[in-house]
Amino acid sequence: MAEAKPDTPLMPPPLRNLPDFKKSVKLKYVKLGYHYLITHGMYLFLSPLVVLIAAQLSSFSLEDLHVIWENLQYNLISVIVCSTLIVFLSTLYIMTRPRPVYLVNFSCYKPEEAHKCSKKIFMDQSRKSGFFTEETLEFQRKILERAGLGESTYFPEAVLNDPPNPSMKEARKEAEAVMFGAIDELFAKTSVKPKDIGILIVNCSLFCPTPSLSAMIINHYKLRGNIKSLNLGGMGCSAGLISIDLAKDLLQVHPNSYALVVSTENITLNWYSGNDLSKLVSNCLFRMGGAAILLSNKGSDRRRSKYQLVDTVRTNKGSDDKCFGCVVQEEDSSGKIGVTLSRDLMAVAGHALKTNITTLGPLVLPMSEQLLFFATLVGKKLFKMKIKPYIPDFKLAFEHFCIHAGGRAVLDELEKNLQLSTWHMEPSRMTLYRFGNTSSSSLWYELAYTEAKGRIRKGDRTWQIAFGSGFKCNSAVWKALRTINSAKEKNPWMDEIHKFPVEVPRISPL
């Protein structure tokens, strides 16, 4: 009997090999299936129980129902007690549940063409002013080249004049143009009358005149005498979300009310004219802008409102000296006032963000993400496993992100840490490019960009997140109540949205 050759297979090869699942199955769908299973696990668990109850109820006959009714008829005390308990619990629930807060509409101010300031105009004005040395002019040029700003940002008239003439009068002129421009457009959009406003909150960090900015608005629009008026100052770029949170609290105790929130910053008196490098960065980043937001707790406004406020989370690190001192308004050695930005700013912002999202995560993340985060935390802390901390996928909780356009470095760091895509970062980057850092109002220019692109669908969730001096990190979560038709929108992007997005180079030489 002939021996089999060594290279002859003992069994014939199968007609088809098993597929390589790593190549043939898209693992993202496996992950999505996992998230769906965990998130809807409670419903899947209760489904058999619901089916059994329904089957039992379907076997009830009219005679069974008649027997139950007869038993209740002869037990009047039980009926009265049960009815009283039901009425009491229903009343308690209605009285203690939070009032929903609706965002009826908002508007962003778009300055006139005369206020446009290209990077060349900025450098020419800085040079002609005579305030800066060649060294500090070169420093500003390098910042501008890398800041991510475009050629169509806006400066107030007092800074663009030759020579610049910042004064209290010019600062008020800028404030009035921005605030009244945004509010006029908002009233036109919503058809709300000034006398209907019951709550007014204005935030501007560096310009706090007397009478206040809120008083200027009350006087201009002749708002009613019993209005709840507040003016927030010195709270940095995150003050816009502080105003939203404050308005939410006030709307809980004042039924059937409208709250008007105005967020802005003033450049005229805060353009630094010294040569301290740490104070010159803000000159290169901050630009003219503002926004007005109308909130309501009226049930009748739900149908016409754009969004409902889901959650607000505020994080304050002011008790830490390093955090407290990373953004400070102070005089330089020549007595000129400016805002000093510490080298520790990015580290402080990252620490504040970590605390904020740790609080926000359980409120918005699906259960699947929370379990993964908890599992890695237990493995790392309890079992001393050498594994990286799990970063939750916030893209599973939100469809849209509005991250404060504080500067390119801030946006780059958040894109990396939150694992966001270029598409998610587009509203923030384009807002920085087109309008610059407009402080607390930048979040609303970003939301306006998202609306102008036609991306908002009913049920979509948007995360607004901002940082501010002190140091603070604040978040607000909104849920879209309807699909936004971009063709019917009026916002500062509409006449040029077709030009965006644009490619923003890492360095734009001047």
Q: How buried is 39 (Cβ within 10 angstroms: 0-12 exposed, 13-18 middle, 19+ buried)?
A: middle
User: Is 137's pLDDT higher than 60?
Assistant: yes
Q: How far apart, in Å, are the Cα atoms of 230 and each of 112, 191, 218, 444?
A: 29, 23, 11, 20
Q: Is the pLDDT of residue 59 over 90?
A: no
Q: What is the mean pLDDT of residues 236-242?
A: 95
Report, as an integer, the average pLDDT of 217-244: 96
**What is the C-alpha radius of gyration for the chain, rounded to an integer number of angstroms?**
29
| Contacts of 218 by beta carbon, 8 Å cutoff, 6+ apart | 200, 227, 229
Mean pLDDT of 59-88: 73
* Predicted local distance difference test score (pLDDT) of residue 76: 67
Q: Are 284 and 143 in contact (CB under 8 A)?
A: yes
What's the average model confidence in pLDDT over 410-431?
A: 94
pLDDT in tens, 143-173: 999 999 999 999 999 999 988 999 999 999 9
Q: What is the 3-state secondary structure (H, E, C) of 224-275?
A: CCCCEEEEECCCHHHHHHHHHHHHHHHHHHCCCCEEEEEEECCCHHHCCCCC
Contact call for residues 442 and 237 (beta carbons, < 8 A)? yes
More confident residue, 58 or 211: 211
The tokens of 440 are what? 């607390």
Q: What pLDDT sits at residue 469?
A: 92
Smallest CA-to-CA distance from 203 within 444, 448, 498, 459 is with 444
**So what's the pLDDT on residue 3?**
43
pLDDT band with cut points at 50, 70 and 90 for residue 95: low
Residue 386: the pLDDT is 76
Q: How far apart are CA 322 and CA 307, in angstroms?
A: 37
Check residue 29 and give its pLDDT: 46
pTM: 0.84
Q: For residue 110, how many other CB atoms are within 10 A of its CB?
A: 21
- What pLDDT is stored for residue 499 in this prediction? 96
Name the 3-class secondary structure at 152: coil
CATH fold of 101-499 reads Peroxisomal Thiolase; Chain A, domain 1 (3.40.47)
Could you report the per-residue pLDDT of 277-334, keeping only the tens digit for each? 999 999 999 999 999 999 999 999 999 999 999 999 999 999 999 999 999 999 999 9
> Quick one: pLDDT at residue 35?
55
Residue 9 confidence class, pLDDT cut points 50, 70, 90 = very low
**Cα separation of 318 and 442, whole Å?**
23
Mean pLDDT on 72-77: 67
Identify which has the larger pLDDT, 292 or 69: 292
Which residues make Cβ contacts (< 8 Å) with residue 114, sequence separation at least 6?
A: 157
- The token pair at 61 is 């006959």
Q: What is the pLDDT of residue 256?
A: 95
Average pLDDT value for the chain? 88
Contact 190, 218 (CB under 8 A): no
CA-closest candidate to residue 452, choices 437, 431, 438: 431
Structure confidence at residue 185 as a pLDDT band (50, 70, 90)? very high
Tell whether the model's pLDDT for residue 20 goes beyond 50.
no
Q: At residue 67, does pLDDT exceed 60?
A: yes
If one counts every other C-beta atom within 10 angstroms of the C-beta of residue 70, the result is 10
The span from the CA of 380 to the CA of 389, in Å, is 8
Judging by DSSP bridges, how do beta strands 153-154 and 228-232 pair with one another? Answer: unpaired
Instruction: Encode pLDDT of 26-54 as tens digits.
Output: 444 445 555 555 555 656 666 777 777 77
pLDDT given at position 42: 59
Q: Alpha-carbon distance 191 to 478, whole Å?
A: 23
Q: What is the pLDDT of residue 37?
A: 57
Closest among 206, 204, 470, 440 to 352, alpha carbons compared: 470
| Spatial distance between the Cα atoms of 162 and 238, rounded to a whole number of angstroms | 33
Res. 105 pLDDT band, cuts 50 70 90: very high
For CA atoms 231, 235, 240, 244, give the dihedral sign. Answer: negative
pLDDT for 25: 43
393-410 pLDDT per residue, tens: 899 999 999 999 999 999
Tokens of 108: 């962003």
Tell whether the model's pLDDT for residue 119 goes beyond 60: yes
Cα–Cα dist 91/97, whole Å: 10
What pLDDT does 4 receive?
44
